[in-house]
Amino acid sequence: MGMDDDIKHHAEEAAGKAKEKWGEATDDKDLEREGEADQTKANLKQAADDVKDAFK
């Protein structure tokens, strides 16, 4: 898709990684899982955008 979407999805992924690491550091398993989920959602969005771009 657009460059803006790409940047947004990478930022979401980075935020998820940070959340996961913070959860690991504070031994907060819920926060860790939430960070992993955020990363997965961002990666799925990136993959969907790649598929859309392939059919342009």
Burial class (CB in 10 A: 0-12, 13-18, 19+), 16: buried
DSSP 55: T
CA dist., res. 20 & res. 30, Å (int):
9
pLDDT mean across residues, the chain: 92
- The model's pLDDT over 32-55, given as tens digits with 9 standing for 90+, comes to 999 999 999 999 999 998 898 888
**Residue type present at position 55:** F
Share of the chain above pLDDT 90, in %: 77
In the chain, domain spans: 3-55
CA dist., res. 45 & res. 19, Å (int):
19
